[in-house]
Amino acid sequence: FFSENTVGLTMALRHLIRTLADSPVSPNSHADHQKDIRSNDGTVSATQLEFLRIIAPSIIGTTLEALKADSTEIQTTEPLVAVAIRAALESKHVMKPSLGRFLVCLKVYLTRGIGVLLEYIDTHFGLVMSADHMTSFVDKWLVHAVVWALGGSMPWQEREKLASLVVSHSNIELPAGCDSVLECWPHVEDGEWALWENSLSRRDIDESQITSSSLVIPTMDTLRHAELIQSCLASHKPLILCGPPGSGKTMTLVSTLSSMSNLILVQVNFSSGTTPGLLLKTLTQYCEVLKTPRGEVMRPKPSLGVDKWLVVFCDEINLPEEDKYGTQPVIS
């Protein structure tokens, strides 16, 4: 809502760290996000604060303690994230870039990293994570988060340029045989990089499955995209998949949604004849109607399961015919 002359980059980044420091995060399953990312008791864990202490200098150019004390330091060099954001704003994107969108995406991926770290600690009872182990993982996760938060909407070549810039401004080294940070991801088990290629598993496919439209052969791209989509969905943030016809947008999204055990997927394929009545009929199969002071509302039926989200995936929303006022009733 404010121009960059009013709220500059430095102020926005400081606000980002403050928000993360005041918003408790709970452990989330790295595999299928069975738990919500938000903490239930309203307290910020020591692990979350340590995560922020490690990344604060690379984002705001000062320590977390100095930020909380509202102290102002004269910076001789711009922090890593500020350099990356300025470069990303000048790069090509499939949609117009903005500082606000970058910060929202960065918060999503940093929150995801905190959740992964908390999940690891919670599932390894009696194991004390060393400072070197945690720092190694957090430093790598910051690079991973910055590259994908800022470069997710870039063409591949532009994304590679951004990745090289981010790595060159950090103290991170890539593993042997890895030419780009885009080819790997931070592994919380040891704090080192893991290659996406090594995450691909061999699977035997039955002949009857070959012609199935739901069959997805895992590749490095599908693994990367699934991880990014799950991060956004775990934070309940909207996302847009961009690509030419036939590039696999629907396949990727449906495959990812179907793999998440805390979601119930309802897929609606729109056509020129799709009406609001058809959409409501579909929803009534999964929802019950409740009367509230604000009117009637629909919520998922308890029989679907506890703590599950109902996701309605509408494909080809541009196809329904417009009325005489130029409106698509099924959407409006």
For residue 239, being part of any structural domain is answered with no
* CA 84 vs CA 42, 198, 244, 290: distances in Å: 32, 28, 27, 48
Q: What pLDDT is recorded for position 35?
A: 41
Domain of 14, CATH number, reads: 1.10.472.130
How many domains does the structure of the chain reveal? 2
Q: CB of 162 within 8 A of CB of 87?
A: yes
The b-or-e profile of 68-82 (16+ CB within 10 A means b, else e) is eeeeeeeeeeebbbb
For residue 135, being part of any structural domain is answered with yes
Same domain, 192 and 277: no
User: In whole angstroms, what is the distance from residue 284 CA to residue 265 CA?
Assistant: 14
Q: What pLDDT is recorded for position 34?
A: 37
Report how far apart the first and last C-alpha atoms of the chain are (Å, whole number): 25
* Coil vs helix vs strand at 183: helix
Same domain, 269 and 194: no
For residue 213, being part of any structural domain is answered with no
SS3 content of the chain, % helix, strand, coil (to 5): 45, 10, 45
pTM for the structure as a whole: 0.82
Same domain, 91 and 167: yes
Paired tokens of 235: 């934070």
150, 171, 199: which is the final residue of a domain? 199
Same domain, 95 and 176: yes
Q: What pLDDT is recorded for position 86?
A: 96
Same domain, 152 and 284: no
Q: What pLDDT is recorded for position 33?
A: 39
Domain of 328, CATH number, reads: 3.40.50.300
User: In whole angstroms, what is the distance from residue 166 CA to residue 6 CA?
Assistant: 27
Range of the domain at 280: 262-332
Same domain, 292 and 193: no
Q: What pLDDT is recorded for position 211?
A: 66
Same domain, 168 and 23: yes
Paired tokens of 175: 């593993």
For residue 205, being part of any structural domain is answered with no
For residue 322, being part of any structural domain is answered with yes
Same domain, 42 and 188: yes
Same domain, 22 and 108: yes
Instruction: Return the closest-CA partner of residue 200 out of 179, 216, 180, 181.
Output: 216
* Coil vs helix vs strand at 185: strand
For residue 211, being part of any structural domain is answered with no
Q: What DSSP string describes 262-283?
A: TEEEEEEE--TT--HHHHHHHH
Q: What DSSP string describes 279-310?
A: HHHHHHTTEEEEEETTEEEEEE-GGG-TT-EE
User: In whole angstroms, what is the distance from residue 134 CA to residue 52 CA?
Assistant: 11
Same domain, 45 and 174: yes
Neighbouring residues of 116: CB distance < 8 A, sequence distance ≥ 6: 28, 30, 141, 188
Instruction: Return the closest-CA partner of residue 217 out of 248, 178, 240.
Output: 248
pLDDT below 50 — which residues of the chain? Answer: 29-39
144, 177, 199: which is the final residue of a domain? 199
Same domain, 73 and 155: yes
164, 182, 199: which is the final residue of a domain? 199
Same domain, 163 and 291: no
Q: What pLDDT is recorded for position 132?
A: 96
For residue 218, being part of any structural domain is answered with no
For residue 247, being part of any structural domain is answered with no
